[in-house]
Amino acid sequence: MLHYAVGYLKYGRMMILLLLLGVLAGVCYYVYSPAVYQSRSLIDYKFFALPVAADGVDGSTAVRAVRSVQSQLSSRQMIAWTAHALGIGRANASFEELRSGPLRKVELGLLDGATMQLDVFSTNPNVVREFPQALINQFDTYTREKRFAFFEVALKRYNEELGLLKKKIDESLEVKTNFERDNEVNELLIKQNALAQIPLDILRVQHKIRQYDEVRSIVESRVQNGAMDPLEHLSLLDSAKKSSLDENPVGQLVVPATGDLKDNLLTPSVAPVAAITPSSIVVQPSMVEGLNPWHTLERDKRKVETEIAEAARVYLEDHKVMKELRAKQRQISEALTTELDVERKRFEVERLRLGDQLKELESKLPEYSEMTEKLNKLRQDYKLGYEGDLAWTKAYADLSKMVATINFGGDKDRVDLQFREFALLRDVDPISPTKSKLLILAVVLGLGLAIGVPLGLEQLNDKITSLAALEKLTGLKGLGIVPTANSTFLEGVTRGIETDPRKPNHVLECYRVLRAHLGLQLGNREGAKVVMFTSARPSEGKTVTAANLAWTLQSIGVKTLLVDLDFRKGRVHNLFGVNRSPGFCQALTGELALEDVIQHTHLTNFHFCTRGNTSAGSAELLCRLGLEESINIWRQQYDWIILDTPPVLGLSETTNLQRVADAVVLVVKAEKTHGRDVTEAIEQLMRAGAPMAGFVLNNIDMSKVSNYYYYYYSSSYYYQAFEEDDMPGRSAPASA
């Protein structure tokens, strides 16, 4: 974390100025801001329910009523009216003008179920004292005027609505009457009543016919199998007359249908419509048919048989009593036979009658269906009209209740507000501005500016400042750094070797570090090693870096060639103080031989080749095969070949030049080159298959504290420390 903090020391002056600016802003606010006073008052409220309540006239619950009162009291308009009543501001000043003037803020909240808390902030001490009571008075005046105005308009509107509803109800009644008359509803109901029993009668007749047929089949089967007792025969014939659908048994309660037309239209019914008042009828025994004659004969026969059985114990068969009883028995049997014949004929006649009755009922069934369908349609229309009548009637009743409520409770207040006391009143000692709080805020503001502004600038600045940041951004290794130095010294590449090894030059040592890193990377390669130097943008120091690397290589006895391949703005010839011609361009065009463009220095192992006389299209020569052939020839003559090439971005030839290089070194100028330029240049080279060796961070200002912290070992102070240790009179450390 320390190195991050040190990195922000370059903004030290700005941070101090921003801190002072924040403190100055706090002082100015304290001097020029007006004093603000506060009062906190308690207001009691009570609600009274009307004796006659209606939902449409303030029939809200207590919770909604409290919220309504709170909303009205804290509304902008109510606060503005109260301020005008106290003479605050202009007569027609808006709420916004009052807020920016003497009345700064008004807050209203609920303290408990019967108390409100009102906070008033103002630059006028009289306002904080008088505003609570004035607000209550203004609210009472406003609600009273609003209530009376509303009730006056509401009564007029409601009475008009009542008249319209009464008219609608009368019209609905007339429509219903016309509906009954036009559709002959009464006549249809009478006809429908006459036909209502047809389905039930058909079921009853069909049931009886089935019983008659079943009895007939049983009788015929018994007769075929042998003699059949008359009593059994009569019993079977009598059973055919009885049915579950027959008339009511004794004791059954019968309720006739009602004769109300509305009920018959609203509720479908098959019951007959009676013209009398509905009543209940109990079936009496006298209303039920008595016993049949053969039942009496059967009883008499059993009685005679009992008498014969008893007499046979006493008398002989030829006795007079026995003969009389036998004669009576024969007489009863003959009567039963006669009754059987009568019942059989009656059975057949009844069967024929039932068949005719069934045909007659079935012929009336279409008429019944037609009548039922017509009544159902009328019933549906009538029901819709009836529901509409209910809506009008309910609306009339509700509106009448509202009118009654207004008439009875229109002049009564439902809420009572009373000022209780001040819970807090600061009309002498203002609450703002406070010295301690303002001092803290000023310091916080100054620190925020002092930290935030440099932090923002640092985040927005993507210029490369450190080797570690560049390695993290590009993913490449840093081969070395070059501190800021005198341009004359850096461009003096024909300098001699240092005479005193105890006093090394820190700048040249940085180039030697670069030489060591490249030597380690390319040490196993046979033949000459070709290193290409380029940069993302112009003027980043690639030419000086390449030349000084070549100087360090020749200083260790390695035969080195420096070639200027920047045919646009190459300046290698300036470093050696010669003309740019003859140069490599003439060798590529064939004007000169390759050995004629090589120039020598007073250093035995250091040769160079300038760019020569170039034109606008000379850069295209670098894309031809002649470049590769020249490099291959030089590989046989030199140990190291250093290529100074154009920048990557915006130019086309640089990505082609990497084909002849064993390693590509990107030169980045500290605090000038943008990170996006570096990444884009590396991406272009990598897409072309360039053998990236790493990068050199150039022009690092060692006078800055952040850079000194990072690169102390590369500064002159580091070497001065060794020089001081070797001064005369100093003894070596014991551990040396």
Q: Is 94 left (phi over 0), alpha (psi -120 to 50) or beta?
A: beta
Specify the range with the lowest mean pLDDT, choosing from 171-185, 244-258, 392-406: 244-258
* H/E run at residue 366: helix 320-409
Q: What is the pLDDT of residue 640?
A: 93
**CATH placement of domain 34-179+381-432:** 3.30.70.1130
Six-digit token pair at 715?
Answer: 């500064």
Q: What is the mean pLDDT of residues 460-478?
A: 79
Residue 133: what residue type?
A: Q
Q: What is the DSSP string of 383-401?
A: HHHHHHHHHHHHHHHHHHH
The values of phi and psi at residue 700, to 5°, are -85, 125
Six-digit token pair at 196?
Answer: 């209502």
The values of phi and psi at residue 567, to 5°, are -75, 0
- Residue 660, CA atoms < 13 Å, CB-side half-sphere: 27
Six-digit token pair at 260?
Answer: 């109300």
Q: For residue 658, give every residue at least 6 positions away whose Cβ sits within 8 Å of its Cβ, in sequence order, or none.
A: 532, 664, 685, 688, 689, 690, 691
Six-digit token pair at 127?
Answer: 């306002």
What does DSSP assign to residue 54? Answer: B
State the CB neighbour count (10 A cutoff) for residue 116. 21
What ranges make up the beta strands (E) of 591-662?
599-600, 606-609, 640-644
Backbone CA torsion sign across 229, 231, 234, 236: negative
Contact 66, 45 (CB under 8 A): yes
The whole-angstrom separation of Cα 3 and Cα 463 is 17
Q: For residue 665, give every residue at least 6 positions away whose Cβ sits within 8 Å of its Cβ, in sequence order, or none.
A: 479, 518, 531, 532, 533, 534, 545, 693, 694, 695, 696
Six-digit token pair at 139?
Answer: 């609210």
- Tell me the pLDDT tens digit for each residue of 381-397: 777 666 666 666 777 77
Q: Tell which wins on pLDDT, 393 or 144.
A: 144
Six-digit token pair at 21?
Answer: 């600016």
Going by pLDDT thresholds of 50, 70 and 90, the confidence category of residue 149 is confident
Q: What is the DSSP string of 668-696?
A: EETTTSBHHHHHHHHHHHHHTT--EEEEE
Q: Tell which wins on pLDDT, 347 or 125.
A: 125
Domain boundaries, the chain: 1-31+433-461, 34-179+381-432, 467-715
pLDDT of 207 > 80? The answer is yes
Q: Tell which wins on pLDDT, 124 or 379.
A: 124
The whole-angstrom separation of Cα 713 and Cα 717 is 8
Q: What is the mean pLDDT of residues 91-114?
A: 83
Going by pLDDT thresholds of 50, 70 and 90, the confidence category of residue 288 is very low
Long-range CB pairs of 84-89 (<8 Å, 24+ gap) are 85/134, 85/137, 85/138, 86/127, 86/130, 86/131, 86/134, 88/124, 88/127
Q: What is the pLDDT of residue 564?
A: 92
- Tell me the pLDDT tens digit for each residue of 636-672: 999 999 999 999 888 877 778 888 899 999 999 988 8
State the CB neighbour count (10 A cutoff) for residue 220. 10
Top-confidence range, 407-416, 444-453, 484-493, 574-583 = 574-583
Task: Please give, one letter per residue, the 3-state secondary structure of 493-537.
Answer: CCCCCCCCCCCCCHHHHHHHHHHHHHHHHHCCCCCCEEEEEEECC
- Residue 540, CA atoms < 13 Å, CB-side half-sphere: 32
* CB-count burial class (<10 Å; 0-12, 13-18, 19+) for 99: middle
SS3 616: coil
Specify the range with the lowest mean pLDDT, choosing from 343-357, 438-452, 707-721: 707-721
Specify the range with the lowest mean pLDDT, choosing from 42-51, 500-509, 681-690: 500-509
Contact 332, 300 (CB under 8 A): yes
Going by pLDDT thresholds of 50, 70 and 90, the confidence category of residue 70 is confident
The reply to whether 34-179+381-432 and 467-715 are identical in fold is: no
Going by pLDDT thresholds of 50, 70 and 90, the confidence category of residue 255 is very low
Q: What percent of the chain has pLDDT over 70?
A: 78
Going by pLDDT thresholds of 50, 70 and 90, the confidence category of residue 493 is confident
Going by pLDDT thresholds of 50, 70 and 90, the confidence category of residue 706 is low
pLDDT of 92 > 50? The answer is yes
The whole-angstrom separation of Cα 230 and Cα 283 is 33
Can you identify the CATH homologous superfamily of domain 467-715? P-loop containing nucleotide triphosphate hydrolases (3.40.50.300)
Going by pLDDT thresholds of 50, 70 and 90, the confidence category of residue 407 is low
Q: What is the pLDDT of residue 263?
A: 54
SS3 46: strand
pTM above 0.75, yes or no: no
Q: C-alpha distances in angstroms, 620 versus 66, 615, 623?
A: 88, 10, 6
Specify the range with the lowest mean pLDDT, choosing from 130-134, 146-150, 191-195: 191-195
Cis peptide before 582 (omega within 30 of 0): yes
Closest CA to 565 of 531, 596, 592: 531
Q: What is the mean pLDDT of residues 489-507?
A: 66
The angle at the Cα of 350, spanning 347 to 356, to the nearest 5 degrees, equals 145
- Tell me the pLDDT tens digit for each residue of 589-645: 889 999 999 999 888 889 999 998 887 778 888 888 888 999 999 999 999 999 999
Q: What is the pLDDT of residue 547?
A: 92
* pLDDT, the chain, mean: 77
* H/E run at residue 298: helix 293-311
Q: What percent of the chain has pLDDT over 90?
A: 12
